[in-house]
Amino acid sequence: MGYRRRNYSVTASTLQGLLPTRDCFLDRLRQQEELFATRLSAGILLRKTSSHREMEQMEEKEGGCCSGFISCLLGLALFLSQLIIFGVVALTVYWVFKFRGGIDLEKDPLLQFNSHIVLMVVGFAFFCGQAILSYRVFDCCKRSYARLVHLLLQLLGTACITVGFYVTFMHAHNQAVPHFRSVHTWLALATCGLFIFQLIFALFCFVLLLCCRRRTFSLRQRLVPVHASFGLVIFAMFVCTAITGLMQAQSDQIILPASYNQTAENILSLIPGSPQEQSDLIVKMLSCGLLALVVLLPTITNTSIRGGRGVFYRSN
């Protein structure tokens, strides 16, 4: 069979219709620029490298758009929160050693119980409080470094909380006191239970899921504000538990050291009144400091700049 060759005539108008016009090219370029600007304003750029071929989060070094005045206010609030955290820990140690006889893990059961107070305040107020603020304190570093510091502080806080819970449990067991008989103990049980759940949830979602980093990227990003807000709720529950515990410990008998001098102690501490009045005043100061942290920590962390998106955060 013969092969018949067909002739195709291509005119200039036909060729012009097949090629993209200049306006179409500019529209596509404009769409790409708008998409890039949207991702840049959100602080997230998704890229796929040739070696790893995975989605990574690239955050802006400056940490979002924030005016200079607001940045100064946040810096002042951060400094104030750090001052309160260190002050609460120092005042707790001073109160335990000056008005409750100190810490002794071998002889006196009351002195053994004092370690519970110090460990819980150090574990929750210091380590967990610093872990919440780690994304603000280390804002100039890479986000992965801030995550590592956050994880280490949470693990140190978990160790202190575990030992403190064990001390008070064994103290009640050795003294033949019924467990969970006060509001403080029930609040402590609920707070520690939620804290353990939060820790397991975070290890699963933000550590274990890194094995499938590309596929779980969007899921982990949606869980970040939930994790942050739930941590603030647990910290607020700790403050309620600590205040009830301080009120309960306030009724205990004051144990003054043998070298206690009324006049010298009043001059050095600048706290007037009898030892009982001084102890009551310190408890009130501790309670006010913890309540101030409940206000400051959400204010510092739940902002639209880097690392502070809460569960009710909505991007523009």
Collapsing DSSP to helix, strand or coil, 60 comes out as: coil
Residue type, 109: P
Burial class of residue 99, CB neighbours in 10 A (0-12, 13-18, 19+): buried
Q: What is the C-alpha to C-alpha distance for residues 95 and 105, in angstroms, rounded to an integer?
A: 18
Q: Please, are residues 170 and 125 in contact by the beta-carbon 8 Å criterion? A: no
Q: Which CATH code of 1.10.760.10, 3.30.499.10, 1.20.120.1770, 3.40.50.300 fits the domain covering 47-254+274-302?
A: 1.20.120.1770
The confidence band for 257, taking pLDDT boundaries of 50, 70 and 90, is low
One-letter amino acid at 95 equals W
| pLDDT score recorded for residue 210 | 80
CA 58 to CA 53: how far, in whole Å? 15
Residue pair 10/19 in contact (Cβ under 8 Å)? The answer is: no
Tell me, what's the pLDDT at 220?
Answer: 84
Give pLDDT tens digits for 157-188: 999 999 999 998 888 878 777 878 889 999 99
**pLDDT given at position 20:** 54
- Backbone Cα Rg of the chain: 29
> Is the predicted pLDDT of residue 4 greater than 70, yes or no?
no
Task: Report the alpha-carbon distance of residue 94 to residue 281 in Å, rounded.
Answer: 13
pTM: 0.72
Q: How far apart are CA 270 and CA 265, in angstroms?
A: 8
Structure tokens given for 166 = 């064990």
User: How buried is residue 54: exposed, middle or buried, by Cβ count under 10 Å (0-12/13-18/19+)?
Assistant: middle
Dig out the tokens for 115 from the structure: 């370690």
**What is the distance between the alpha carbons of residues 98 and 122, in angstroms, rounded to a whole number?**
18
Query: What is the distance between the alpha carbons of residues 267 and 168, in angstroms, rounded to a whole number?
Result: 34
Question: 85: number of CA atoms within 13 Å, CB side?
Answer: 24
Tens of pLDDT, residues 198-256: 999 999 988 888 888 788 888 888 888 889 999 999 999 999 999 999 998 887 766 66
CA atoms within 13 A of residue 224's CA, in its CB half-sphere: 15
Residue 305 scores a pLDDT above 60: no
Query: Is residue 306's pLDDT more than 70?
Result: no
Compute the distance between CA of residue 199 and CA of residue 98 in angstroms, rounded to an integer.
35
Is 307 within 8 Å of 224 (Cβ atoms)?
no
pLDDT in tens, 76-97: 999 999 999 999 999 999 999 8
User: Region 285-300: what's the mean pLDDT?
Assistant: 94
Rounded-to-integer distance, Cα 195 and Cα 158, Å: 9
Query: Cα–Cα distance between 161 and 180 in angstroms, integer?
Result: 17
What are the structural domain ranges in the chain? 47-254+274-302
**Given CA atoms 55, 66, 75, 225 in this order, what sign does their dihedral have?**
negative
